[in-house]
Chain A
Amino acid sequence: MTRDTVQFWLNGEAVSVHNPDPVQTVLNWLRQERALTGSKEGCAEGDCGACTIVVGDPEAPEGVPPWRAINACIAFLPTLDGKAVMTVEGLARSGELHPVQRALVAHHGSQCGFCTPGFVMSLYAHYRNGGALDDDTLNDVLAGNLCRCTGYAPIIRAAKAMKDYPPIEEIPLPRPERAPMLALDHADPARGGRRRYFAPRTVDDLARLCLQHKSAVLLSGGTDVGLWVTKQHRDLPVLIDTGRVAGLAAIERRRDGLHIGAGARYADAGAALGTLHPMLGELLRRIGSVQVRNAGTIGGNIANGSPIGDMPPPLIALGAQLILRKGGVRRRIPLEAFFLAYGKQDRAPGEFVEAVFVPAPGPDTRFAVYKVSKRFDQDISALCGAFAVTLKDGAVATTRLAYGGMAAVPKRAERAEAALMGQTWDEAAVRRAMQALKEDFTPLDDMRASAAYRMTCAQNLLYKFWLGEQAPYLARQVRHG
């Protein structure tokens, strides 16, 4: 039993869209089909936040914030199925501005105004979830909203003041509705051809669909796949959306580590990973933005095999294992073995990433992960270095050094590891390992950094690790700690 009508609530009103084009973006639908032009397109790649909308999940479990800001420009319309969607037009009540809006007006938080709806919506989600209003929290909340006019200061002043205005009646979160699986089959009148979309509700259905549609693209958050459509104009004839698969987003704390379902979003995995090591939590905070972390998934970040994805290096350093499934058959491989070459992963047709297991570092393990980018927040790594070393009687007993941005795939530094193994954990050994990195890698050379910088910095990160800088001094724990 399936259905081909996408159903959700828009600013409190029930909406049904029959068999839409699965890759129509939410932003285009709002602006073109509903004439709701408050949400803006600033980049169409999820980086500027001018299109931010808020999505409420009636099925959100207890303790999980139900209202989430996302980028409408790279979200596909069917992914809204079953959700409560709020746009900037839906906040004011019979002419009375919402406290978030009042605060922004009173504190001169808009100049040209083009980014403003996005800021309103990011703050609105935070407001409804009852989030903290300190500088660090607000910097995080707004990291995915670019403003070119204000320098952000008045927006932060407004954010801190939004609690000072009397609350107004909010549109409530609707009750969850059980509906059969959404399956679309859309004929494109403009470009020709058909596009199909499935949103399975169980892992078994997902496994079956993956076998049936071996060339299907798995949509698991869509913060990358969205750009295939908006920027690369690729045709995606079959999409299988993992977003509504029950249990696939589960994060289980086990005796020896974390079992993270492939569908777990960064936003939800961050806190759990942070319990393994605070630097891991800080790294998660620096992946994308709130909007990206509310959509993007751990499984998606691994499965797309980017050489500069931020999850693989620390997970490899911690010895993570990937659980893949094809039909009813599961296999488990070390994460580093998954990345075969640029754009090529060890995933058979019909197979999908089901989960990743991340062992907890032991008491004798020293661990650190460093991300270096041109901008601290919401930037893609120039390089990422993650290191785990265990010492026995002052000597290195195990070592796992993993880098992103240093090769065509996320990769361990085997020669550097060899240079450290069995050695006394001292500067001389570390210096030798730093030299060995030159044999391990031929770094990327691109707009994010030159090969020379990447190599020098990769060496220095290892040195930094040895120095014992467990938290980067520039990170906020230190700034405000």
Chain B
Amino acid sequence: MDNCTAIKGGAAQSIPHDSAAKHVTGQARYIDDLPHPPGLLHLQPGLSSRAHARIKTLDLAAVRAAPGVVCVLTAKDIPGTNDVSPTGTGDDPVFADGEVVYAGQAVFAVAAETLAQARHAASLAVIAYEDLPAILTLDEALAAETDLEPPQIMARGDADAAIKRAPHRISGRVHIGGQEHFYLEGQAAQCLPGEDGDLIVHSSTQHPSEVQSLIAHMLNKTAKDVTVQVRRMGGGFGGKETQAAGIAAMVALACHKTGRPARLVLDRDDDMVLTGKRHDFVIGYEAGFDDAGRLAGVVFEQAARCGASMDLSAAINDRAMFHADNAYYLPNVFIRSRRLRTNTVSNTAFRGFGGPQGMMGIEHLMDAIARHLGKDPLSVRRANLYGGDGRDVTPYGQRVTDNIAPELMAELAERADYAGRREAIATFNAQNEHVKRGLALTPVKFGISFTTGFLNQAGALVHVYADGSVHLNHGGTEMGQGLFTKVAQVVASVFCIDLSHIKITATDTGKVPNTSATAASSGSDLNGMAAYNAARTIRGRLAEFAAREAGCDAKDVVFTAGRVLAGRRDWSFAELVRAAYLARISLSSTGFYATPDIHYDREAHQGRPFYYFAYGAALSEVEVDGLTGESRVRRVDILHDVGKSLNPAIDLGQIEGGFVQGMGWLTSEELVYDAGGHLRTHAPSTYKIPACGDRPAVFNVRIFARGENTEPTIHRSKAVGEPPLMLAISVFSAIGDAIASFGGGRTWPDLHAPATPENILRAITLLKGESW
């Protein structure tokens, strides 16, 4: 692979994000920053106040009559399909039609001359509801058996028998809360009218092709009539994979109906009640194991609150099953996964995509085994890692051939002095009655690929202009993760020119069609390789041309630091390009990539769904106040594998940021619904993502120096978007460890995630045998 080191901004270099200078000067434009086109309409949706109800009457007369109102949109205004479901399940209407299925669902939208007028008008709607029975909690959904699809089972061997035969047995349950994405830029879209009724949509979406397709269906158009562009998102995290579509659909409908440009930028509170979140889970387990804590058999019962529609819940819950093993070999295993419908907002993709919840189950089990046996939890974890004779096949039948978890854990334990600190903590805890410390080292093994096979494809479009400058486009979207930068570095390396010669351009369905969502951590793997292929095609043509000119063989043409050498000829890149142009050589190419060697039989839940695994390990130390339940993360050490990094600075940012986001999920971020199904934590005043001072006081993050993908990915790099989030399970585990010290016994605490002060105090109280 081309690894041109003499250029500025080639692959593997730690260069800043391509938009960094624009970010810090306020010049980077997000949708709401676009100059107002003449006649721009502003939208405000009207939301359901009921969790489940029939709409008896929808009286919008006052809304229509309000000052500045141009039109009001309801389900009846949709000429085509009133659905933005990503999987064609037909249960995600743009506007509720006759029945609302969660509090916060969009019932209508008003388009007005100003935003203030739109918001004022929307408040004037009079909606009469007839309440219907609402299923709000997981327990209610389990009791009512509201499964969205049949329970899924992934199994190997006879888990029950193995558990029965094992010398030790335990069972337990862990409650895992959901999570709001809290992208700083709320959902946003703008639509401009074109000729022939065409629509040009600017959407803050991770999935422009899907937005294009859904809008086309909604308006009885075809994909060719709708163009979707995304320059950047102000954060996505999975929350703009499917959830952006409804917002974009509203502006498209307004534009279609009025012929005027339309914009909708959701107010934060509306965004938080209207759009989906990470699934909350309850995972029960039963396990049998030997004296070393090594599992003989395990049963996991996973149940997830999916909310009011299917959305991506099937794939998300599949991934919870795929990661029920985390990094551990499960000889006999039975995993049952239930996906429950509730009258709450439809839960959706969120960094990790079910994987984090799946891992929480087995990490809870590892800790419980360690306490049960009175052994150090790290020794139990190590005893269960993949590796050794016949211990290399996952519950879904994929062989683990790239396992570095044991190596990572050993290096981290050594470097961060696990043993010494374990002792110091024991001493501290013996001396302190009301304050305890806890320590945990947990691994992450995360499967890379969309488990829906066809999504593992990407396209790119590269133009080299006659002056030697390069226009780069691909199907991936930029949400802050540095994808555009990394892909541009790849292309710079192919041509061996400085990155400054390459223009990174907005994702555009008119340039690269039929793209997959930028999701599943796959952005660089897929788009990096597609852009590489496009650039290689052009480079090949240039090399042939140069060889012809120089009278040498094309393979002897050398691209080096902005120059091209062939035989006795020596051009600057721009000179060669100019000459090639005059010689009528095509200087534009598409590129395509489809991940090889993956397959999966979803009926049997067997196959090789993942191209490879990404690994990491984290050691967290916490302190817990036994009187209030407050906790602090004192120190975190991370060792994470990114293969051969495309950009170590950007990868480090993903690791640090992913970890802190995961920490928020498991500590301070709590979604609270009231008895009527209304989300009570719908703004940053009540929903608390980590603040600056919450990051670990000592935070040592390292990229695994020997990392290299065993598969031929782009420059042998590995995906990095999601895996680091799950390193934060070490924080939850360490809090459990501290709490367990209040009991002193062999019981792992019944700590619900997130570990808020209240949940911690509850767990301590229960551990002491008192009631809560």
- Give the distance in Å from the alpha carbon of A474 to the alpha carbon of B316 in the complex: 37
A residues 168-183 with Cβ under 8 Å of B? Answer: none
CB < 8 Å A-B pair total: 269
| A44 interfacial by beta-carbon distance below 8 Å | yes
**CB-based nearest B residue for A448:** B686
Report the bound CA distance from A104 to B32 in whole Å.
Answer: 24
Which of B185, B482, B691, B694 is close to A114, meaning CB atoms less than 8 Å apart?
A: B185
Which one of A141-149, A201-209, A294-302 is at the interface? A141-149
The docked-state distance in angstroms from the alpha carbon of A114 to that of B183 is 9
**Contact at B757–A374, with CB atoms within 8 Å?**
yes
Contact of A376 (CB < 8 Å), options: B17, B237, B623, B694: B694
A151 to B480 Cα, complex, angstroms: 13
**CB-nearest residue of chain A relative to B272?**
A43
Contact B23 A113 (CB under 8 A): yes
Contact between B692 and A190, CB atoms less than 8 A apart:
no
A172 CB, nearest partner CB in chain B, Å = 21
- Specify which chain B residues have a CB less than 8 angstroms from the CB of A40 in the assembled complex: 30, 184-185, 234
* Interface mask (B365-399 → A, CB under 8 Å = 1, otherwise 0): 00000000000000000000000000000000000
B-side contacts of A91, CB under 8 Å: 25
How far is the CB of B429 from the nearest CB of chain A, in Å? 14
Contact residues in A for B67 (Cβ distance below 8 Å): 190-192
Contact (Cβ within 8 A) A108 B25: no
Q: Is B26 an interface residue (CB 8 A)?
A: yes
In the complex with contacts A41-B32, A114-B30, A120-B24, A450-B650 CB distance below 8 A: no
B588 at the interface (CB under 8 A from A): no
Shortest CB-to-CB span from B243 to chain A, Å, is 15
Please name all residues of chain B whose beta carbon is closer than 8 Å to the beta carbon of A106 when the two chains form the complex.
16
Are B693's CB and A42's CB within 8 A?
no
Q: Write out, one digit per residue, whether chain B residues 222-234 have a CB within 8 A of any chain A CB (1) or not (0).
A: 0000000000111
Whether A108 and B650, one on each chain, are in contact in the complex, defined by CB atoms closer than 8 angstroms, is yes
Judge whether B27 and A474 touch: CB under 8 Å.
no
Interface mask (B12-37 → A, CB under 8 Å = 1, otherwise 0): 00001101111111111110110100
Whether A374 pairs with B268 at a CB distance below 8 angstroms is: no
Residues of the B chain whose Cβ atoms lie less than 8 Å from the Cβ of A448: 686
Whether, in the assembled complex, A34 has its beta carbon less than 8 Å from a beta carbon of chain B, the answer is no
Contact (Cβ within 8 A) A89 B26: yes
A113 touching B627, Cβ below 8 Å: no
Which of B279-287, B676-684, B702-710 touches A? B676-684
B184 touches A377 (CB 8 A): no
Residues of B within 8 A of A87 (CB): 26
Q: Evaluate contact between B24 and A97: CB separation under 8 angstroms.
A: yes
* Chain B CB within 8 A of A382 CB: yes
With contacts A106-B16, A114-B235, A233-B119 known, is A88 near B25, CB below 8 A? yes
From B81-89, B655-663, B739-747, the one touching the partner chain is: B655-663
Contacting residues of chain B (633-674) with chain A, CB-CB under 8 angstroms: 634, 649-650, 652-653, 656-661, 668, 670, 672
Residue of B nearest to A154 (CB): B653
How far apart are A287's CB and chain B's nearest CB, in angstroms?
A: 13
Chain B residues, Cβ within 8 Å of A36: 26
Q: Are A113 and B234 in contact (CB under 8 A)?
A: yes
Check B184 against A372 for contact (C-beta < 8 Å).
no
Q: Are B267 and A153 in contact, CB atoms less than 8 angstroms apart? A: no
Task: Note all chain B residues with C-beta closer than 8 A to A101.
Answer: 21, 24-25
Nearest opposing residue in chain B for A43, CB measure: B268
Closest to A113 in B: B23
| CB-based contact A155/B268 at 8 Å | no
Contacts of A139 in B (CB 8 A): 692-693
Q: Select from chain A the residue with minimum beta-carbon distance to B34.
A: A37
Nearest B residue to A479, CB-CB: B697
A474 contacts which chain B residues (CB < 8 A)?
623, 625, 630-632
Report the interface size for chain A: residues with CB under 8 A from the other chain: 89
- Cβ-neighbour of B35 out of A35, A112, A376 (below 8 A): A35
Partner of B26, one of A117, A374, A472: A117
* Interface assignment of B182: CB less than 8 Å from any CB of chain A: yes
Is B699 in contact with chain A by the CB < 8 A criterion? yes
Partner among B17, B30, B114, B691 whose Cβ is within 8 Å of the Cβ of A110: B17
Identify which of A37, A44, A460 contacts B628 (C-beta below 8 A). A460
CB-CB under 8 A from B690, the residues of chain A are 151-152, 375
Known: A377-B692, A473-B435, A474-B632. A111 touches B657 (CB 8 A): yes
Taking CB as reference atom, which chain B residue is nearest A120?
B24
Stretch of A239-247, A312-320, A461-469 contacting B (4+ beta carbons < 8 Å): A461-469
Residues of B with C-beta under 8 A to A31: 32-33
Instruction: Determine if B680 and A446 form an interchain contact, defined as CB atoms under 8 angstroms apart.
Output: yes
CA distance A39 to B27 in the complex (A): 10
Which residues of B are found within 8 Å of A115, using beta-carbon distances? Answer: 184, 234
Residues from chain B with Cβ under 8 Å of A310 in the complex: none
Task: Please tell me which one of the listed residues A50, A100, A148, A370 contacts residue B661 in the complex, with CB atoms under 8 A apart.
Answer: A148
Contact residue among A374, A460, A467 (Cβ-Cβ distance under 8 Å from B668): A374
Interchain CA distance A152-B699 in the complex, whole Å: 11
Q: Does B701 contact A (CB under 8 A)?
A: yes
**Which residues of the other chain, A, contact B481 by a CB distance below 8 angstroms?**
111
Task: Report the Cα distance A50→B265, complex, angstroms.
Answer: 15
| CB-based contact A112/B628 at 8 Å | no
For the complex formed, measure the closest distance between the CB of B699 and the CB atoms of chain A, giving whole angstroms.
6
Contact B184 A147 (CB under 8 A): yes
Cβ of A380 within 8 Å of any chain B Cβ, yes or no, is yes
Task: Determine the chain B residues whose CB is within 8 A of the CB of A450 once the complex forms.
Answer: 758
Q: Is B364 engaged at the interface, CB distance under 8 Å to the other chain?
A: no
Residues of A within 8 A of B526 (CB): none
Decide if A47 touches B659 in the complex (CB within 8 Å): no
Per-position contact with A for B211-249: 1 when CB-CB < 8 Å, else 0? 000000000000000000000111111000000000000
B23 touches A233 (CB 8 A): no
CB distance A380 to B116 under 8 Å? no
A10 contacts the other chain (Cβ, under 8 Å)? no
Task: Report chain B residues within 8 Å CB of A88.
Answer: 24-26
The reply on B479 being an interface residue by CB < 8 A is: yes
- B234's closest neighbor in chain A, by CB? A114
- Beta-carbon contacts of A315-344 to B below 8 Å, as 1s and 0s? 000000000000000000000000000000
Q: Is B259 an interface residue (CB 8 A)?
A: no
Stretch of A61-69, A126-134, A451-459 contacting B (4+ beta carbons < 8 Å): A451-459
Quick check: is B320 within 8 A (CB to CB) of the other chain?
no
Q: Is the CB of B628 within 8 A of A461?
A: yes
From B28, B267, B693, contact of A143 by CB (8 A): B693
Q: Which residues of A lie under 8 Å from residue B756 when comparing CB positions?
A: 374
Q: Are A372 and B689 in contact (CB under 8 A)?
A: no
A42 to B683, CA, bound (A): 10
Q: Which residues of B contact A44 (CB under 8 A)?
A: 267-268
Q: Taking the nearest CB of chain A, how far is it from the CB of B620, in angstroms?
A: 14
By CB atoms of chain A within 10 A, which of B20, B183, B694, B701 has the most? B20
Q: B residues engaging A (CB < 8 A)?
A: 16-17, 19-30, 32-33, 35, 67-68, 114, 116-117, 119-120, 123, 181-186, 232-237, 265, 267-269, 434-435, 479-482, 623, 625, 627-632, 634, 649-650, 652-653, 656-661, 668, 670, 672, 680-681, 683-686, 688-695, 697, 699, 701, 756-758, 761-762, 765, 772
Known: A104-B24, A373-B688, A473-B623. 9 other contacts (CB 8 A): A38-B26, A41-B265, A104-B20, A142-B691, A145-B692, A148-B181, A148-B184, A190-B117, A377-B692
Closest 8 CB pairs of A and B: A38-B26, A112-B480, A114-B234, A151-B660, A113-B23, A111-B480, A139-B693, A47-B684
Show 9 A/B contacts (Cβ-Cβ < 8 Å), sorted by A.
A40-B234, A42-B268, A113-B480, A114-B30, A139-B693, A231-B683, A374-B757, A446-B680, A464-B627
